[in-house]
Structure 1
Amino acid sequence: MNAPLRKVAISVLVLFTLLIVNVNYIQVVRSDELRKDSGNTRVLAAEYDRERGAIVVAGTAVAESVPTDGRLKYLRQYPQGELYAAVTGYHSLIYNNSQLERAENDVLSGSDGRLTLRRLADLFTGRDPAGGDVVLTLDPAVQAAAMAGLEGVTGAVVALDPSTGAILGMASTPTYDPGRLSSHDPAAIREYADQLDAAERDPRLNRAIGDNFPPGSLFKVIVSAAALADGEYTPDTVVPAPTELPLPNSTRVIPNFNGSSCDPSGQQPLIDALTISCNTAFAQLGMDLGEDRIREMSEAFGLDGERYEIPLRVEGSSIGDVEDDAALAQTSIGQRDVRMTPLQAALVAATVANDGVQMKPYLVDELQAPDLTVIDSTEPEEWREPISADVANQLTEMMVSVVARGSGRAARIDGVEVAGKTGTAQVSEDVADHTWFMGFAPADDPQIAVAVFVANGGGTGGERSAPIARQVIEAYLDAQGD
């Protein structure tokens, strides 16, 4: 063979070798990655040939597949679409899956390894293949009350069972209709997606877990926990509470709300400082405790910046960088770089309610095969223990005072002792403040912990967010009593 032919033969051999290597790499190494790729609509289209499993709340499907006469055999529907959209997400021919439709896709589509025996049985019996069901922990009364409370505002509500970590409610507004993204009409899907894209606030974002926000005075509960855990403070310890607090090495001062005085004497018991949410008292207390103690307690509660899954992806919460004492003073009242998800706020309240033990939050109660046999279930799991039961009891006393005679009066419920904390977070000039409330009830036998966030709602947490929390707590306690 002459030299030119030999070169051509070698080149062809190399090209064939590269082609074979690439095919094997795609089909073997990257197969799972490509199958789960949100842009791979071929796999998604194939899934329409089988009945996708349901997402179930209290025995009722909130996402289900129904047979059609069209080329695609099944249509995904959401009977209470806007109510549960933040949790279910959508199953779209164009835009793939989101939220639980994505997180639990393997079970819902029937491709999960735990359904292998079912698939084999389908093969031998000729039975149509089907996906498994995902049963949620959500309580319909809580979810309905949360969405009703958020009507007309941008915000989120999260409710938890403090003793287990089960998520009882997860609401986010504005909301949308996932069914319109899950139709079989590509043009209609794209048109609706364009409407959502043009919205001032994206309705597809689950604000309960998908973003974090400055918590304002909610953070004072964590500062209080740091003080009480040191053993040098009790709820009755008198702390400085001036009308204004000059920041170290700065010309700026921290004022109290509306420039008010927390106490004519310039000092007050720690419980009173939390009750009326005194800024200057907690800014000074934070500096006295020091950054290390504040950061240690924050991270112990879960403000460590880490993302995690419930199985939905949850954004991290953290206190951010603290450059100096002036920054620490601002951090200690929940401003500066402190960021918290509404789920994290609910976890803080739930931890206090549960004697200082933080349970790992979870949204899925159990997974079921198509014949409704349980293939997996979630067992409550202790996650962290940031504070002792004694500190939790002291914080409960202080948070009860907030609702009984302080900034959280709008969360009071006749015949039920509610513990809570309000928060009002400044965003920037000419932009309305965020408002918050977190709490739990009954204070002496906690059954529900809740956090309410209203974005740029104006007013205060006591005015805007506490009434929504009361509404959610009442709905749950009433439903439990029925």
Structure 2
Amino acid sequence: MTRCIRRCAALCLVLLLALAVNAVRVTVVEAGSYARDPANRRIAIARYEHPRGGILVGGASVTGSQQTGGQLAYARTYRDGPLYAPVTGFASQTYGTSLLEGTEDGLLSGTSSQLASVPLWNEITRDRQRPGDVHTTIDAAAQKAAYDGLAGRRGAVAAVDPATGRILALVSSPSYDPGLLAGTGPAVTDQWQRLNDDPAQPMLDRAIRQTYPPGSTFKVVTAAAALESGAVADLDAPTDSPDPYRLPGTTWSLTNEGRGCEDASVYDAFRVSCNTVFAKLGADVGLTAMARQAEAFGFNDDGLRVPPAVARSNFDTRMSRDQVALSSIGQFDTTATPLQMAMVAAAVGNGGELMRPYLVDRVTNHGGAVVAHTRPERLHRAVSEATAGQLQELMEAVVSDGTGTNAAIPGAVVGGKTGTAQHGVGNKGTPYAWFISYAKPPGANRAAVAVAVVVEDAEAARADISGGGSAAPIARAVMQSVLAAPPRPYDQPVS
């Protein structure tokens, strides 16, 4: 009898051990696969059991949550959804997340270990912390000025603080209301289908996810390469630049829209935007120096995150001389996001230092305590301080007495560059109008804001007048809104 009891006890012990091992397997080893299993309804129910954390602009939340009355208890809501969609993205119970809603999902949903009061507590208990709030760097007035300026036309605006890299505005037009995708059911499915079928692509974030040929705005990079390489020493000296200019190794000649470009100085050629001068200058500087300079401004970077991923801006590193010439005026295969071209203007306005752009200033927990803070970081020394001063002279001449006078702001020093990007088969597509710029407050040595604007449906008789007429007023409005705002205590340059 005693032997039977011992055997029974041993068997029970083995079974208990087996149960314990299986429990560990299910709750620890296999927990990730269960969590990722789309058939696991409990994950979705737990995810939407409580309101989601807020995305804030200027201390005010532009997102919220509302009760649904269903198993997924709370759905996302958006204040001024189309205005901030290129920043927030969407959080959908049906289609997942995008942009900040996606990259900061752990913080906004309460699953991030950064929110835990005790290290590893969440991983051990599987408890969900109360969600945190994401404070963006966006300036509400600048965002509104950019959005109103585009007025529904296809295009985008990006604005940054040159001294820190803080992104002050990200606008893409036409836009959409992320709240239409927040819940579940046929209405959400219909909206998703409608938005994806729309040829205007309202869900495309043109400010950071779309690249365009930058046209004449790229002449800032070409001028920088010429100055840094020593190919140009005197901005006022005549250049050996014929008009028209036959592209090297071809029978095709490049011309200008305006007159006075033959042998024009770099100063005058930049001010009135002579294609022939800058195409020849790029070909003379050469592929290696041009590519090196473009990359110093941020081109060819596959890893830029703000934290949403930014599309790669391209400058080819294998080209013939005629292709280098075309690339040097922002054509051929050269492409850039609006954020990239804002970075070019920012580096010039910041004395040659290019700061890493970022969209999240800090994250706070439910009690308001800061759990993460972004510190400004230098990305590259784009050009020397001396070269930056010469580029500022060129860009400021564009606004004071060139193609960009529509960007002038009384009392402020404004530098800019107009441009038009030809595109389509045989360059017969409607040109894209560009304007990039920076503005210095009265008495300041460094710029307080840098902006890039692209308008896709601009009608232009002359390329650079289009940039000055269609895009420059939008940039001016954005710069004015930033200059008019009181300084923020955390807007300090990096030493």
Q: Same fold (TM over 0.5)?
A: yes
- Aligned amino acid, residue 471 of structure 2: S
Once residues 83 and 38 of structure 1 are traced to their aligned partners in structure 2, the CA distance between those partners, rounded to angstroms, is: 32
- Which residue is equivalent to 1:200? 199
Once residues 470 and 56 of structure 2 are traced to their aligned partners in structure 1, the CA distance between those partners, rounded to angstroms, is: 31
Q: Secondary structure at the match of 1:192?
A: helix
Q: Of 468, 474, 481, which residue of structure 1 is paired with 2:480? A: 474
Deviations along 1:160-183, whole A, 9 cap, x unmatched?
Answer: 110000000110011000001003
| Runs of at least 5 residues in structure 1 that lack an aligned partner in the other structure | 1-19
Q: Of 427, 430, 433, which residue of structure 1 is paired with 2:428? A: 430
Please identify, of 111-120 and 471-480, the stretch whose mean Cα deviation from structure 2 is larger: 111-120
- Which residue is equivalent to 1:440? 438
Deviation at 1:30, TM superposition (A): 9.1
- Which residue is equivalent to 1:175? 175
Q: 1:359/1:128 Cα in 2 relative to 1: closer, same or farther (>3 Å)?
A: closer
Q: 1:295/1:359 Cα in 2 relative to 1: closer, same or farther (>3 Å)?
A: same
- Which residue is equivalent to 2:365? 369
Q: Identical aligned pairs, as a percentage?
A: 39
- Aligned amino acid, residue 364 of structure 1: V
Q: 1:40/1:98 Cα in 2 relative to 1: closer, same or farther (>3 Å)?
A: farther
- Which residue is equivalent to 2:334? 338
Q: Of 375, 394, 397, which residue of structure 2 is paired with 1:398? A: 394
Deviations along 1:139-195, whole A, 9 cap, x unmatched?
Answer: 000000010011121111011110000000110011000001003x41110111111
- Which residue is equivalent to 2:255? 255
Task: Report if aligned partners of 1:321, 1:337 keep a CA contact under 8 Å in 2.
Answer: no
Once residues 411 and 250 of structure 1 are traced to their aligned partners in structure 2, the CA distance between those partners, rounded to angstroms, is: 38
Task: Report if aligned partners of 1:311, 1:362 keep a CA contact under 8 Å in 2.
Answer: yes
Q: 1:28/1:330 Cα in 2 relative to 1: closer, same or farther (>3 Å)?
A: farther
Once residues 418 and 253 of structure 2 are traced to their aligned partners in structure 1, the CA distance between those partners, rounded to angstroms, is: 22
Task: Report if aligned partners of 1:119, 1:129 keep a CA contact under 8 Å in 2.
Answer: no
Alignment RMSD (CA, Å): 2.8
Task: Report if aligned partners of 1:146, 1:468 keep a CA contact under 8 Å in 2.
Answer: yes
Deviation at 1:401, TM superposition (A): 0.2
Once residues 274 and 250 of structure 1 are traced to their aligned partners in structure 2, the CA distance between those partners, rounded to angstroms, is: 25
Task: Report if aligned partners of 1:243, 1:261 keep a CA contact under 8 Å in 2.
Answer: no
- Aligned amino acid, residue 275 of structure 1: R
- Which residue is equivalent to 1:450? 451
Taking the TM superposition and a 5 Å limit, the aligned residue runs for 1:204-215 are 204-215=203-214
Q: Secondary structure at the match of 2:382?
A: coil
Deviation at 1:388, TM superposition (A): 0.7
Deviations along 1:227-261, whole A, 9 cap, x unmatched?
Answer: 1112342322321343311112212111112xx32
Once residues 96 and 440 of structure 2 are traced to their aligned partners in structure 1, the CA distance between those partners, rounded to angstroms, is: 42
| Runs of at least 5 residues in structure 2 that lack an aligned partner in the other structure | 1-20, 461-465, 489-495
- Aligned amino acid, residue 295 of structure 1: A
Matched, 1:413 2:409: yes
Deviation at 1:129, TM superposition (A): 4.6
Q: Of 275, 287, 290, which residue of structure 2 is paired with 1:294? A: 290
- Aligned amino acid, residue 61 of structure 1: S
Once residues 209 and 372 of structure 2 are traced to their aligned partners in structure 1, the CA distance between those partners, rounded to angstroms, is: 26
- Which residue is equivalent to 1:229? 228
Once residues 27 and 321 of structure 2 are traced to their aligned partners in structure 1, the CA distance between those partners, rounded to angstroms, is: 54
Task: Report if aligned partners of 1:352, 1:392 keep a CA contact under 8 Å in 2.
Answer: yes
Q: 1:380/1:472 Cα in 2 relative to 1: closer, same or farther (>3 Å)?
A: same
Deviations along 1:79-119, whole A, 9 cap, x unmatched?
Answer: 11111011101111110111111000010011111122279
Once residues 38 and 236 of structure 1 are traced to their aligned partners in structure 2, the CA distance between those partners, rounded to angstroms, is: 66
- Aligned amino acid, residue 234 of structure 2: T
- Which residue is equivalent to 1:12? none
Q: Secondary structure at the match of 2:264?
A: strand
TM-score (norm: length of structure 1): 0.88
- Which residue is equivalent to 1:17? none
- Which residue is equivalent to 2:187? 188
Task: Report if aligned partners of 2:343, 2:354 keep a CA contact under 8 Å in 1.
Answer: yes
Once residues 259 and 405 of structure 2 are traced to their aligned partners in structure 1, the CA distance between those partners, rounded to angstroms, is: 20
Deviation at 1:457, TM superposition (A): 2.1
Task: Report if aligned partners of 1:355, 1:388 keep a CA contact under 8 Å in 2.
Answer: yes
Deviations along 1:59-83, whole A, 9 cap, x unmatched?
Answer: 1111122345443322211011111
- Which residue is equivalent to 1:6? none
Task: Report if aligned partners of 1:211, 1:341 keep a CA contact under 8 Å in 2.
Answer: yes
Task: Report if aligned partners of 2:110, 2:128 keep a CA contact under 8 Å in 1.
Answer: no
Q: 1:240/1:30 Cα in 2 relative to 1: closer, same or farther (>3 Å)?
A: farther
Q: Of 376, 385, 398, which residue of structure 2 is paired with 1:380? A: 376
Q: 1:401/1:447 Cα in 2 relative to 1: closer, same or farther (>3 Å)?
A: same
- Aligned amino acid, residue 439 of structure 1: S
TM-score (norm: length of structure 2): 0.86
- Which residue is equivalent to 1:153? 153
Deviations along 1:322-369, whole A, 9 cap, x unmatched?
Answer: 431111111111100001111100000000111111111000000111
Deviations along 1:33-61, whole A, 9 cap, x unmatched?
Answer: x8579999863443111221100111111
- Which residue is equivalent to 1:9? none
Once residues 473 and 27 of structure 2 are traced to their aligned partners in structure 1, the CA distance between those partners, rounded to angstroms, is: 55
- Which residue is equivalent to 1:351? 347
Once residues 207 and 26 of structure 2 are traced to their aligned partners in structure 1, the CA distance between those partners, rounded to angstroms, is: 39
- Aligned amino acid, residue 51 of structure 2: E
Task: Report if aligned partners of 1:39, 1:95 keep a CA contact under 8 Å in 2.
Answer: no
- Which residue is equivalent to 1:144? 144
- Aligned amino acid, residue 260 of structure 2: C
Q: 1:42/1:254 Cα in 2 relative to 1: closer, same or farther (>3 Å)?
A: farther
Once residues 318 and 122 of structure 1 are traced to their aligned partners in structure 2, the CA distance between those partners, rounded to angstroms, is: 42
Once residues 390 and 37 of structure 2 are traced to their aligned partners in structure 1, the CA distance between those partners, rounded to angstroms, is: 49
Matched, 1:308 2:307: no
Q: 1:30/1:280 Cα in 2 relative to 1: closer, same or farther (>3 Å)?
A: farther
Q: 1:128/1:100 Cα in 2 relative to 1: closer, same or farther (>3 Å)?
A: closer
